[in-house]
Structure 1
């Protein structure tokens, strides 16, 4: 069923002029800080901005930047935290328009927000414990909780240091999402009679100036037996799930085997993702390996997930795999019409193509579900024209005659192409 939004629009004789300008600023600038001289950069008269009631239009987004029409400059209206605004997406930018009237003019502004090193790497836990058999062979791997640094680029997490490093060493594995999985690798045999408890410090370092770090303690208890680690049947599992899937939906099932017998071969599954939303959305059955949906999905906010699953036996030997889950979009958003400027009066001698109303149409769905078409009622001297992405003007299409028709009631209908 096609969804429609109806809006009744009145009319004013206006014209539109378009331009665009871009700026780049660091995050965390103080309120009132200068972003740029937009009047100068667009070649505008400051008096024109003031008399035209120039203002910032940001649609549904939060207004971080304001226009000082007396000076023709853009200023920080609200402190911008790049991590809160964009997460790990780069480049990070805010987009808005400057709209003025009499005549109507419309300018696009893009402000890129660059990262500063204001976050240190951190671990979810301050310490972690392992119980490892002294029969563990050299080269045995033990996956560790990786640190998280909300900064990006050189300011993000760059390296790990393990001390002391005479028994274990650190090995990193690059992932498709740009992160690095961390493994602790045994490089010489354990001797319980010599060292029953081993204490290590894992430090995560970023590349910023000054450099920042976070540390997690690793406590290892050395035991006997258990000389086989679990092994997953495949390193990567994939699944798809509709964004409106019910809680409890099985996405996929992971499986690992262990050559040991009895309790030493019993495998427990768990999700190891830290400091993100995966564990709030998915769960894995610790016995069967079934990965189930436990939270709410929204394709418009997140289109895929990477779930890190660990298989661990009773001797604390482990293996890991990845579960890639793609979210399937459904048509759950209707188009939204936002009036940018309008008026109720127009002269009968207005020129053809006079702009009377300017509006923006938004539909966050993807593909056909988010493709929107707009039209107006027939047999009226007006027509819709698209100016740029999802921006439309209602303009005169022929001469007006007040004696023939003193007013018009115009209906704009916008529909997406989804089902």
Structure 2
């Protein structure tokens, strides 16, 4: 199948190491989002050689990197509404790694909206009861508006009403910027002429082409009770912390009715919830108008609720008045920071240069403001430190030179603390082993060894045993011994002594004659098996002791 390529806009900020792309939602799998390898400055074939790849995050990214071309491709369905709901812009923050050397890049992918959601009313039908004659022209009846899951122009709704000589439509703009339709009576009703009016309310969004949704309005014309309840406020505004206890009183609404007797007795009900999840948050006492909290609040999920309260009298037919309750949820510090290790490069060679990246970490806090502002540090004090690479991203880097012979492994803890009061904390432990390099030569305990041996000693006798210490590991610390051919009298050394390369034992290989040579001076070399190998030397003075092996001569 042919690969579908979109013309997308990419911005490459070299100083910040960040690439930005945009792609419309519902783009087909295989769509090329951008030439990632090229935008990161990689040569042809380098993306595959250096293992250009995305770092796995907590949620599915729906994009992938082509191993061959280094292009960023759509891998699965992108639904902006599922990813970001009403948030705009809808930006996915991705981390991209390349190896040799290890480096992280940050990619911001904006998923743009398309008009793929039609407006939806809360119900397909709304029933209204309006009294004849006593309901004056100009009376208004709030209608439940439609919602559209899209954003921007695609979610900007307009409303139209089917033609009627009795009713018109008026659109009010709330302080939150929402368009709220209201049905306006333009001519007094006569139940005996028309007992029921059926109208269609149509909501159209601003997409191209526009999508629409409808709701049928069934208006029953009734008699008698000619005064509707009136609230003492049109809008009730309440603020509650998200930690508010279930069952607490939110507010109390109050409506009065100018009628007498049963026609003035009012009950209350909630008629509209924005968002719909508000149904699980509050309830209203039908007799007192007290509104109580029935569900837990979560600022990170919804920070404002909009409710419509209806006051209904007990007349026949009943009449109703309406008010709005706006509940603003205030953030509290109820989310601790979270620390993830996205990449770990261990062990670290003890000759690694200062600035070497050991690990990549991601830190986040779901709270907002100071409650969501996180500071991070390394504990306890160690040769490692944190460097911020992007919002919420850090590199654990080497700040001081390492010495495996002094410390062979570090237990590092990355700690995070938010700015709330009281502050919440999190930590993530890392084990960083240090690998050995051959940076220590073998060392003898003495620079000069003196060995005594009687003349005429038997060949093969052990004269001494030398030992050199090398603190390195494995082959870097394994030592072999030999007579150093660069020493004095090296040419004849093999005629007198030999050295066991593994144990350092010095054995006699030839006869000693005090009368010919009374002192021998040898240089012994200790060499490790590192690459390159290191060596040290010591001197061995062999003193020959005289025995009475010569008769007097006359």
TM-score normalised according to structure 1 size: 0.89
Gaps of 5+ in 2: 1-14, 423-554
Gaps of 5+ in 1: 1-16
Q: Deviations over 1:180-213 (max 9, x none)?
A: 1111111111112211222212122223233322
User: Distance in 2 between the 1:94 and 1:316 partners?
Assistant: 52
Q: Which moved more, 1:182-191 or 1:102-111?
A: 102-111
Higher relative contact order, chain-length normalized (CA < 8 Å, sep 6+) = 1
User: Distance in 2 between the 1:378 and 1:145 partners?
Assistant: 59
1:116 aligns to what?
Answer: 114
- The answer as to 2:80 corresponding to 1:82 is yes
Q: Which moved more, 1:348-357 or 1:58-67?
A: 58-67
2:157 aligned counterpart, secondary structure: strand
- The answer as to 2:277 corresponding to 1:277 is yes
User: Distance in 1 between the 2:380 and 2:246 partners?
Assistant: 47
- Aligned pair count reads 403
Equivalences for residues 12-411 of structure 1 within 5 A: 19-57=17-55, 59-134=57-132, 135-271=134-270, 272-273=272-273, 276-314=276-314, 315-411=317-413
2:536 aligns to what?
Answer: none
User: Distance in 2 between the 1:300 and 1:128 partners?
Assistant: 33
Deviation at residue 79 of structure 1 after TM alignment: 0.6
User: Distance in 1 between the 2:240 and 2:213 partners?
Assistant: 36
The answer to whether the 8 Å contact 2:47/2:69 transfers is no
The answer to whether the 8 Å contact 1:145/1:274 transfers is no
User: Distance in 2 between the 1:87 and 1:411 partners?
Assistant: 36
Deviation at residue 52 of structure 1 after TM alignment: 2.8
Of the two, which has the highest radius of gyration?
A: 2
Deviation at residue 139 of structure 1 after TM alignment: 0.9
> How well do the aligned residues superpose, as a CA RMSD in angstroms?
2.1
User: Distance in 1 between the 2:256 and 2:383 partners?
Assistant: 74
1:273 aligned counterpart, secondary structure: strand
C-alpha distance 393-346 of structure 1, shift in aligned 2 (>3 A): same
User: Distance in 1 between the 2:413 and 2:91 partners?
Assistant: 35
The answer to whether the 8 Å contact 1:250/1:292 transfers is yes
C-alpha distance 33-91 of structure 1, shift in aligned 2 (>3 A): same
Deviation at residue 172 of structure 1 after TM alignment: 0.9
User: Distance in 2 between the 1:171 and 1:84 partners?
Assistant: 33
Q: Which moved more, 1:57-66 or 1:173-182?
A: 57-66
The answer to whether the 8 Å contact 2:242/2:330 transfers is yes
Q: Deviations over 1:41-97 (max 9, x none)?
A: 222235333233322136323222111132111111221112222222222222211
The answer to whether the 8 Å contact 1:148/1:275 transfers is no
TM-score normalised according to structure 2 size: 0.69
